[in-house]
């Protein structure tokens, strides 16, 4: 990378919304082939043998970060930052007449914070949010479902378009009606958030005018470094070292250090590529990878040999030692049906899954709990979803099995 392109990367905004056609996946580390099969992806993404001059930390001597420290250096995102970036990106569209440009669709991959950012923006701007219907309301095809909510002028915000359809013979009319009404301009300005998997499916059933579509730009390595380093600087004044446990290389740059001999890890470049730039998944992997050595903080506070040494070092597990969920070798059609349905609808209850799939209650339950055992799905209240850490493996499996997948 040239110095000018490196500077451009450093100056790029952390949160940036772009036209869907301008979305760019993060680059894969050049030392590894893009043709590597997913099952060996993590195994092959390794650094060279560690330098003997760098410190090593045995895995068995490390433990997970205390929850209070994890919440300090990697907290739940403040979605107002993303909302502000979205507001800026939509400024030209907002200035246009509603009859000429009535709808803006914001598409986001699972766990990317798409609906959270839209809700934050609606709150910031005092825009009204449309409530999503219950499954039984979708199946009843109630054409008056939204008319009771739409009173007065917009802009209106529907954060979850994926929640107003079901892939069922009786579950598609409502979404067609809503999109047609929104695109007519009769509602005024309408901002629609939609999960990327649902959007891939909806495009096949909608034949009307194509609305404007934007998405959050992928979090590549520079963005991840900028975001994670910013959190640590804000919460600790930069008084943390983030290093790889196996070879001591730095994962995040040091503040006010310009020693060009320091060796840096490409861990976050691998995370960006593996997560396909999905911020939520990258953050989950980041939180999973960080560990600490019990008593290290106290030891370093009493050290007199290096008085300028930060108070604590966080050790990052090397990529090839991370225990990320993978699919069982004997995975079959039942698992594929359920995983695909969960992603197309951004989560479903067991009862709705049974309605949409040609599987018995016994098979649905048995398959869900088997996938849960492999940490590929989880249940939040009554809703089953693919787990963030399991999502990359699930997506690759469905794509290789020729199921409809999203474009992210």
60-101 pLDDT tens trace: 678 888 899 899 999 999 999 999 999 999 999 999 888 888
What pLDDT does 208 receive? 82
Cβ 112 vs Cβ 199: under 8 Å: no
The model's confidence at residue 148, banded by pLDDT at 50, 70 and 90, is confident
Please give the share of the chain, as a percent, with pLDDT higher than 70: 83
Say if residue 300's pLDDT is above 90: no
pLDDT mean over 379-391? 97
Beta-carbon count within 10 A of 169 CB: 8
204-247 pLDDT tens trace: 888 888 899 999 999 999 999 999 999 998 888 777 889 998 88
Closest CA relative to residue 296, chosen from 308, 317, 311, 318: 311
240-283 pLDDT tens trace: 889 998 888 999 987 665 555 678 899 999 999 999 999 999 99
149: its two tokens: 């909510």
167-192 pLDDT tens trace: 998 999 999 999 998 998 888 899 99
- Return all residues near 56 (Cβ < 8 A) that are at least 6 apart: 50, 245, 246, 247, 248
Cβ 161 vs Cβ 194: under 8 Å: yes
Say if residue 312's pLDDT is above 90: no
Say if residue 35's pLDDT is above 80: no
Opening angle at CA 249, ends 246 and 255, nearest 5: 140
- Burial class, 155, CB count within 10 angstroms (exposed 0-12 / middle 13-18 / buried 19+): buried
Please give the share of the chain, as a percent, with pLDDT higher than 90: 64
What pLDDT does 36 receive? 46
What pLDDT does 56 receive? 65
Spatial distance between the Cα atoms of 252 and 112, rounded to a whole number of angstroms: 22
Instruction: Look over the chain and give the mean of its residue pLDDT values, rounded to a whole number.
Output: 85
Cβ 375 vs Cβ 284: under 8 Å: no
What pLDDT does 58 receive? 66
Spatial distance between the Cα atoms of 132 and 299, rounded to a whole number of angstroms: 53
314-354 pLDDT tens trace: 999 999 899 999 999 999 999 999 999 999 999 999 999 99
């Amino acid at each position: 990378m040239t110095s000018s392109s490196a500077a451009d990367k450093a100056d790029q905004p952390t949160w940036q919304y772009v036209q869907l056609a301008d979305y760019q996946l993060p680059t894969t580390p050049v030392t590894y082939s893009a043709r590597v099969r997913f099952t060996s992806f993590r195994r092959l993404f390794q650094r060279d043998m560690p330098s003997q001059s760098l410190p090593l930390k045995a895995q068995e001597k490390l433990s997970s970060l205390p929850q209070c420290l994890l919440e300090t250096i990697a907290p739940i995102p403040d979605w107002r930052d993303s909302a502000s970036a979205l507001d800026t990106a939509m400024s030209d569209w907002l200035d246009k007449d509603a009859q000429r440009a009535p709808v803006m669709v914001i598409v986001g991959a699972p766990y990317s914070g798409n609906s959270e950012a839209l809700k934050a923006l609606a709150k910031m701007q005092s825009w009204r949010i449309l409530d999503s219907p219950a499954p039984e309301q979708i199946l009843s095809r109630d054409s008056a479902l939204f008319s009771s909510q739409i009173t007065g002028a917009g802009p209106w915000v529907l954060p979850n378009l994926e929640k107003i359809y079901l892939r069922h013979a009786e579950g598609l009319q409502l979404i067609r009606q809503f999109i047609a009404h929104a695109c007519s301009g009769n509602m005024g300005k309408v901002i629609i958030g939609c999960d990327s998997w649902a959007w891939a499916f909806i495009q096949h059933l909608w034949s009307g005018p194509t609305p404007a579509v934007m998405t959050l730009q992928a979090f590549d390595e520079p963005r991840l470094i900028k975001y994670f380093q910013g959190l640590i600087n804000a919460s600790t004044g930069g008084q943390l070292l983030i290093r790889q446990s196996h070879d001591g290389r730095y994962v995040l740059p040091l503040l006010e250090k310009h020693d060009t001999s320091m060796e840096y890890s490409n861990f976050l470049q691998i995370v960006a590529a593996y997560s396909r730039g999905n911020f939520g998944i990258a953050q989950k992997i980041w939180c999973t990878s960080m560990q600490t050595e019990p008593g290290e903080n106290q030891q370093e506070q009493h050290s007199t040999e290096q008085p300028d040494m930060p108070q604590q070092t966080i050790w990052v597990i090397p990529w090839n030692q991370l225990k990320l969920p993978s699919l069982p070798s004997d995975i079959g059609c039942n698992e594929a049906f359920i995983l695909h349905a969960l992603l197309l609808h951004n989560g479903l209850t067991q009862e709705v899954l049974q309605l949409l799939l040609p599987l018995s209650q016994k098979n649905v339950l048995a398959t869900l709990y088997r996938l849960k055992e492999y940490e590929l799905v989880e249940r939040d209240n009554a809703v089953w979803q693919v787990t963030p850490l399991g999502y990359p493996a699930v997506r690759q499996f469905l794509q290789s099995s020729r199921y409809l997948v999203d474009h992210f």
